[in-house]
Amino acid sequence: MSDSLAGLDEQQREAASALRGPVCVLAGAGSGKTRVITHRIAHGVETGAYSPSRVMAVTFTAKAAGEMRGRLRALGVGGVAARTFHAAALAQLNYFWPQLAGDAAPTILGSKVRLLAQAADTIGVDPDPAVLRDVATRIEWRKITMRSIERYALDRPEPVGSLSLDAVVALQRAYEQLKDERRQLDFEDVLLACAGMLEAEPRVAAEVREQYRHFTVDEFQDVSPVQHRLLELWLGERRDLCVVGDASQTIYSFAGADPSYLLDFGVRHPDARVLRLERNYRSEAGVVAVANSLMRGRPGALELTANRATPDHPRPTIRAFADDSAEADGVAEAVADQIARGIDPRDVAVLYRVNAQSAPLLAALARRGIAAAVLGGKRFFDIPEVRQAVMALRGASVAPSSGDLVADVRSILRSLGLTDEPPPAGGPLRDAWEARAALLRLAEEAPAGTTMRAFTDELQVRAKDQHEIPTRTVTLSTLHAAKGLEWDHVHLVGLAEGLLPIAYATTFEQIDEERRLTYVGVTRAARTLTMSWARASGRYERQVSRFVREIGTSTLDEVRGRSTPPRRSTPGRSASGSAPSPAR
């Protein structure tokens, strides 16, 4: 068997061996789709079917692109362009614009809201910042769906706050005029401008198509109309396209994502090979059963088969609490119990629908001395304390050292404030301590003989690829931010009508999106899944989510919620529940 196909199951191997397009891989949650994508590219290079420099692998986040590059490097493949749609389009604009226009490409606008506020002054309106943010969202949706301002106005959308439709249209025109006068492009303009350039300049299109012969697109269910158009222009008449996605994880329809491009791929390409990955390698059988029950009968849903089925493993549970405060306390107590049993806090996540749900959860965890990090905050390498530490470590890499990497890193981090005992949970000091401690753990995990220079070079690669270093904290995250991630133990909170599905989801399509969002939350769990809801919020009573009722007790165990007084941190142990080791 080819080295690049070793370790793949039968379905994965079939997909990785399909080197000529068009190919559509329907990949269920936890089925190893990134593994298949990278092994397919490696197999193409290994067999001579692909030249690495002629391959473009398109992803939706810079972090995913960095992970793909890292996996390809581990397979011995370099030179593949693994990029987001925006990064690829921007690179092409910056390369070709000077040739076509004789000057540098326009700069990228930093903030739509700031420019909208200036545009509002020019037309004599003064909307509040929330209204400007809403208009910015409307602009993004209009451009992603390739609508002109005129077409947008003909659709007769709802007014925005105090702004009438005419005022919203006038504000958008003023925004575009200011942007053009300043030679700026916004985020969506990058895609539109690149597509326009390829359509208008046959020489440019021919050069791009000569450079890139083989395309792979991950998360194809999230492709928008403008992204799909750009992909068509990159391809031209060629057919070497492999798309990978899962219709059950379409959670960005509000931002223009259109799963029909995935579901109708076989219609658009009648000779396409459509392959399925349905074996879930992530989750226990009980979690997979909940996921299947939730999505059964939905368009494009795959029937997952669990690869992990531990005998007598506890089934997923649903718990009801009296109110939001009791739910936060009950979840925090459950997390504390898990950590007391030796579970690493990094393996625990609490997931919710909206950001506002994080505050009581953070407070309840802090009362029990449990450090937590909210996903979607600053990237690890953008944290000031991390930047400071990396600079100090880089400086030390050119100075004489003891030859003991861990001792040298510990000494430098001590000088910057890393203490033997962590500060109390719930504040900036603890967050800084956890970040420094994560750097020390990375040094402790480095192969024997690693030099300070090699260690800091690795840190730079991780920062470039956005390969985050997890702090030893419990993760709190919205369901949207959790997509693509996994934890051993997941607490999915707020399973009540009005929260999940969210109150403003009223149409069939909107409710279905909320269902898919719940599915994403469920399938983040590898070992245990605990779902919960609160019967009341202030004076308002709630009903359990319709999704819980649909899943039913055949796959969920109903347990009585409880909330106990916060436990105190045990002396001599870190507030995360484990013995302090970072600065020993």
Give the residue ranges of the annotated binding site for ATP: 27-34
Q: Tell me which residue of 547, 445, 535 sits closest to 501, measured CA to CA.
A: 547
Residue whose pair of structure tokens reads 């008449």 in the numeric block: 237
- Asked if residues 468 and 380 have their Cβ atoms less than 8 Å apart, the reply is yes
Q: Which pair of tokens denotes residue 453?
A: 């220079």
Question: How many beta carbons lie within 10 A of that of residue 204, not counting itself?
Answer: 20
Distance (Å, whole) CA 228 – CA 265 = 12
Q: Which pair of tokens denotes residue 102?
A: 């004789």
CA 458 from centroid of its chain's CA atoms:
23
Distance (Å, whole) CA 184 – CA 108 = 6
DSSP codes of every residue in 65-108: HHHHHHHHHHTT----EEEEHHHHHHHHHHHHHHHHHSSPPPEE
Question: Rounded to 5 degrees, what are φ and ψ at 509?
Answer: -65, -40
What secondary structure, in 3-state letters, does 32-72 show?
A: CHHHHHHHHHHHHHHCCCCCHHHEEEEECCHHHHHHHHHHH
Distance (Å, whole) CA 198 – CA 84 = 18
Helices (H), 397-507: 405-415, 428-444, 452-464, 479-482
Classify 529 as helix, strand or coil. strand
Binding residues: 27-34
Helices (H), 145-217: 149-154, 165-181, 187-200, 202-211
Question: Rounded to 5 degrees, what are φ and ψ at 449?
Answer: 90, 0
Q: Tell me which residue of 438, 270, 411, 252 sits closest to 345, measured CA to CA.
A: 438
